[in-house]
Amino acid sequence: MQGVPLRSSSSRARAALALAASLPLVAGALAFGVPAAGADSGPHGRQALAGTKPAWATGTADRGRVDGADEVTARVYLAGRDAKGLAAYAQAVSDPKSPSYGKYLTAHQAQDRFGATEAQIAKVTDWLKSSGLTVTGKNQHYVTVSGDAAAAKKAFGTELHNYTKDGRTYHAPSTTASVPASLDGAVLTVVGLNNAPRLARHNETLPGPDKAFRNAGPFSTYFGSTTDNSLPSAYGSHPSYAIKGYTGKQLRAVYGAKNFTGKNVTVAITDAFASPTITGDIEQYAKRNGDKAYRKGQYTQVLPADYNRTAECNASGWYGEQTLDVEALHGVAPDADIVYVAGASCQDDDLIDALHKIVDNRMADIVSNSWGDIETHESPDVAAAYDQVFQTGAVEGIGFYFSSGDDGDNTVKTGVKQVDTPANSPWVTSVGGTSLAVGKGDKYLWETGWGTHSAPLSKDGHSWDGLPGAFTGGAGGGTSTLHPQPFYQRGVVPDTLAKANGTSAPMRVEPDIAAVADSSTGFLVGQTQTFPDGSVKYDEYRIGGTSLAAPVIAGVQALAQQARHGVPIGFANPAIYDRYGTPAYHDVTDHPLGKGRTPAVARVDYVNHVDASGGTVTSLRSMGGDLSLSATVGYDNVTGVGSPADTYVTSYVPGQRN
């Protein structure tokens, strides 16, 4: 499934898509598709690879057997030498209550202890070749193959059939794929037998900067600074105008940065593709907005040799995502080193490769990821590959942070109440969103859960039509239908949420923590854009989304790691929940001003998104209404445990817990 960035602009929302994975976080839990060594869980001495037959490959959608000569490509992921041990150790080093807490392995040690052996790689390679498949590539994580459907059937013990899905036809296994038991559990899963989301690879050049976007004024310089009494009142008062866009200085002040800057901490950012103007843009933005100048080598990039699927993935649309992530992170943690690791496309294999580069080379302590998909698109075969990366990162002391989504419970977009992935994985930190009010002097005023509705100004200018109006975006969250409750959520997440899907056992709930995301209280970004007259130039605009919240929290975690005397926090959820109920968090609710006083701002937007030549529209943006989700006292499914308060960062100073 292809992905697009998770960010919400001032007048447009960009939904996030990218396939991902999840695994119940319990000691000894086993990744999807990993059979116990020597187990006979399939027919005739074969081991089943759970989840390799997709849910949409039904009898009614079946259009018959694939011709045996049809071409098939696949990626066979390797389980490594101790998949159960990897999951168990990942939990142990992440749990503050464990005697193994913080006893991380180096990347080399992790590979030696848990990675695939040369003998396993050779054994899997020989089996694939003996089945008639051609090995096209291999590394310590997987073996890629191509061949005809007849050879794939011989290798994986299943026929491929054609199935209709969303008006198109794709091939997929007609039964669960399996591998010979004689491989002794060396195979984690196989990806590619289901080709629905997988498009042809080919080399392409990247398109130019994306189409321009600007915010119209008037603006507030801080929350509530500019009020227009000529506008109709709402909720008992005249609304103030939306801010121009918060800066790093303001976010540092309200999230408790103090004198910490992220020094000696490295944060990685993953997205697809790479902006050709990023270096100049981030340097100009820092200079214009009071951020610390980048020192030589502070920002680096790791790019693939070639890009692919640029049209399908809307490559230029990712440029703004990358720019937002870098500028927000630097604004919050101005001394942290930033390494941008680009995926060759927005597809799973390429995003997984980018994550592998970070873990294999221990490039960073913290990884910010502003992309995701809906849970009904989650594919267990790909899920296994993602979670293996997250678990390996955990044993090395690397933490992964993912945006929780920009469409609330997703019912408006999909008609089904569901969470986003990979934020639903118990092995990552799911970052939810808030609407943030920063007052005069960079003072924290309040936050509410991000869930915004828009009501246009009436034609006569005397009222707001249909107040509160249509839902325009909100933080993703809710209860997973797939993944049981991880240990760190026990005793914190109420059963009313953990069992919201009617299950007898509690399930994983997201998000875990939250930060500013509402585009009406969003962040100012500077980026080179293409304007209607053909000019390509730098400009600035306000933007939001949980794509903003994720790098903000990643930046706060960099500050916390510095406060911890540089010791990596690693997989952060156990430590995040360990601080629940302390002054480390703002307990964010939907009614920070009291019942009946809904927070709201007035916004003026250009109709053509660029200038006033096409006219403007004025609307009232009401906050704190995230569809079926709600921010309540205590843990909730919009903001998790809350947002970082003044003492969050300092709570990581040894001996300084709240």
Q: What pLDDT, in 10s, does the model give residues 107-148?
A: 999 999 999 999 999 999 999 999 999 999 999 999 999 999
Q: Read off φ and ψ for residue 550, nearest 5 degrees.
A: -60, -55
pLDDT tens per residue, range 394-444:
999 999 999 999 999 999 999 999 999 889 999 999 999 999 999 999 999
Q: Distance between alpha carbon 461 and the CA centroid of its chain, in Å?
A: 40
- Residue 362's domain comprises 7-19+208-451+472-601+623-649
Nearest to 550 by CA among 405, 351, 353, 420: 405
What's the sign of the alpha-carbon dihedral 464, 468, 472, 473?
positive
More confident residue, 483 or 647: 647
pLDDT tens per residue, range 503-525:
999 999 999 999 999 999 999 99
**pLDDT (0 to 100) of residue 253:** 98
Neighbours of 129 (CB within 10 A): 16
| Cβ-proximal residues to 613 (8 Å cutoff; 6+ apart), any chain | none
**Under 8 Å between Cβ of 419 and 510:** yes
| Cβ-proximal residues to 582 (8 Å cutoff; 6+ apart), any chain | 647, 651, 657, 658
Of 63-67, 203-207, 575-579, the range with the lowest mean pLDDT is 203-207
495 in a domain, yes or no? yes
Strand locations in 273-336 (E): 299-302
Give the Cα-Cα-Cα angle 161, 49, 24 (nearest 5 degrees).
125
**pLDDT (0 to 100) of residue 610:** 94
Q: Distance between alpha carbon 518 and the CA centroid of its chain, in Å?
A: 16
Taking residues 568-585, report their average pLDDT.
98
Q: Which amino acid is at 624?
A: G
Please give the Cα distance from 437 to 240 (Å, whole number).
Answer: 12
Say whether pLDDT at 202 is over 50.
no
Say whether pLDDT at 12 is over 90.
no
Q: What is the CATH number of the domain that holds 279?
A: 3.40.50.200
- The number of domains in the chain is 1
Rg from Cα positions in the chain: 24
249 in a domain, yes or no? yes
More confident residue, 167 or 434: 434
425 in a domain, yes or no? yes
Say whether pLDDT at 384 is over 90.
no
Of 34-43, 178-187, 388-397, the range with the lowest mean pLDDT is 34-43
Say whether pLDDT at 244 is over 70.
yes
Of 191-205, 426-440, 451-465, 476-490, the range with the lowest mean pLDDT is 191-205
Q: Which amino acid is at 521?
A: T
54 in a domain, yes or no? no
**pLDDT (0 to 100) of residue 383:** 83
**pLDDT (0 to 100) of residue 182:** 96
Say whether pLDDT at 374 is over 80.
yes
Q: What percent of the chain has pLDDT over 90?
A: 84
Say whether pLDDT at 586 is over 70.
yes
**pLDDT (0 to 100) of residue 206:** 67
Written as one string, the DSSP assignment of 216-232 is -S--BSSTTS-B-TTSP
**pLDDT (0 to 100) of residue 323:** 97
**Under 8 Å between Cβ of 419 and 497:** no
Task: Report the predicted TM-score, pTM, of the whole model to 2 decimal places.
Answer: 0.92
Pairing of strands 616-622, 600-606: antiparallel
**Under 8 Å between Cβ of 654 and 564:** yes
Please give the Cα distance from 365 to 195 (Å, whole number).
Answer: 34
11 in a domain, yes or no? yes
Phi-psi region of 642 (alpha: psi -120 to 50; beta: other; left: phi over 0): left
352 in a domain, yes or no? yes
Q: What percent of the chain has pLDDT over 70?
A: 91
Of 119-128, 147-156, 189-198, 265-274, the range with the lowest mean pLDDT is 189-198
15 in a domain, yes or no? yes
Burial of 263 (0-12, 13-18, 19+ CB in 10 A): middle
> Predicted confidence band at 656 (pLDDT cuts at 50, 70, 90)?
confident
Name the DSSP class of 223. Answer: T
Q: Please state, rounded to an integer, the average pLDDT across all residues of the chain.
A: 91
Measuring CA to CA, how many Å separate 605 from each of 166, 221, 468, 534, 580? Answer: 35, 17, 18, 22, 39
Q: Which two tokens stand for residue 350?
A: 């390429």
pLDDT tens per residue, range 441-455:
999 999 999 999 999
**pLDDT (0 to 100) of residue 226:** 96
Taking residues 578-600, report their average pLDDT.
95
> Predicted confidence band at 41 (pLDDT cuts at 50, 70, 90)?
very low
34 in a domain, yes or no? no
